[in-house]
Amino acid sequence: MGAIISGTGHYVPEKILTNKELEQLVDTSDEWITTRTGIRERRIAGKGEATSHLAIQAANRALESAGVSPEELDCIIVATVTPDMAFPSVACIVQEQIGARNAAAFDIEAACTGFIYGITIANQFIQNDFYSKVLVIGADTLSKITDYSDRNTCILFGDGAGAVIVEKSEENRGILSAKLGADGSGGKLLHQPGGGSLNPASVFTIENSMHYIKMEGNEVFKFATRKMSSSALEVIEKANLTVEDIDFIIPHQANIRIIEAASKRLNISKDKIFTNLDKYGNMSAASIPVALDEAVRNSHIKKGDNIIIVGFGGGLTWGAAAIRW
């Protein structure tokens, strides 16, 4: 018995924020952003458009592509660092809105690695015969916590949601192996200090911009290139495969230079690596499932292909999974 991904879907907001527009906000240039990151534009959620709104659209598309009705779902897991509010969870909001009345629902938080944590949890539920059909969503609206006067961060992030249905199957394919990791000592390299129980929302936290993402870009960069390649290799070995057996890699879409450095370390050709960060930037937990859905819908991924999803993020966290499609 295995856990296959039987359907995928994604949604991004309509509003586009280009590099040229960012030139009006901070001291930067289209040329700097493109050469240092590979990002050309990103999507931004509108006023009143919350993470759950994006997640619901992605979920409905994934359900449709899997041919699964909302009532059949046993569980909904949403990976996000930008929930609509502290509670209820985004997963509970999605559960109500899509009519998944038989599903348990909860959020998890592992920043940009959240989707990989989510499908690994779903895989365990299915392998243990606890659930048969789990909806896993990666959804974030980082624009809501981005300081558009900080050129170190505001050029990087965009909003979006991606979803998959993880389903019990007797077929000889599905999630083959997974690896999750964390190093809390790097927490300060990427964090949002205000608004939680340590620094509850107050005039002080707002005046000191504590509700925005703070990042040590260089340190995150070095950590990311190391972990992307090592965790991909670990899941390849764990699945009894070699790098040559891999048909496609879907990496977290943070920076084209991180992806290129990791692919060099893995010694895998660029045409086997999916990227869409030029259009969307870094969408945190949504990056991998949005890329996965685009790769499936554009027929880059075909049944029987061996694929790797791999990512890193705040926490610090990292993870990878090998999947036979």
Residues that bind ligand ACO (CB under 6 A): 28, 32, 36-37, 111-112, 151-152, 155, 190, 215, 217-218, 220-221, 224, 254-255, 282, 284, 313-314
Distance between start and end Cα atoms, the chain: 15
Which runs of E-coded beta strand occur in the chain?
Answer: 2-11, 16-18, 41-43, 75-79, 104-108, 133-141, 159-169, 174-182, 190-191, 214-215, 248-251, 306-313, 317-324
Burial class (CB in 10 A: 0-12, 13-18, 19+), 47: exposed
Q: Give strand pairing partners of 249.
A: 273, 308
In this chain, which residue has its C-beta nearest to ligand ACO? Answer: 217
Distance, in Å, from the CA atom of 9 to the CA atom of 7, rounded to the nearest integer, reads 7
- Which residues form the catalytic set? 112, 252, 282
Distance, in Å, from the CA atom of 118 to the CA atom of 285, rounded to the nearest integer, reads 10
Q: Decide whether 70 or 311 has the Cβ nearer to ligand ACO.
A: 311
Q: Decide whether 79 or 301 has the Cβ nearer to ligand ACO.
A: 79
Distance, in Å, from the CA atom of 133 to the CA atom of 3, rounded to the nearest integer, reads 9
Q: Decide whether 13 or 38 has the Cβ nearer to ligand ACO.
A: 38
- How near is the Cβ of 226 to ligand ACO at its closest, in Å? 12
Q: Decide whether 187 or 304 has the Cβ nearer to ligand ACO.
A: 187
Integer Rg of the chain from CA: 19
Q: Decide whether 65 or 113 has the Cβ nearer to ligand ACO.
A: 113
- How near is the Cβ of 213 to ligand ACO at its closest, in Å? 6
2-11 vs 317-324, strand pairing mode: unpaired
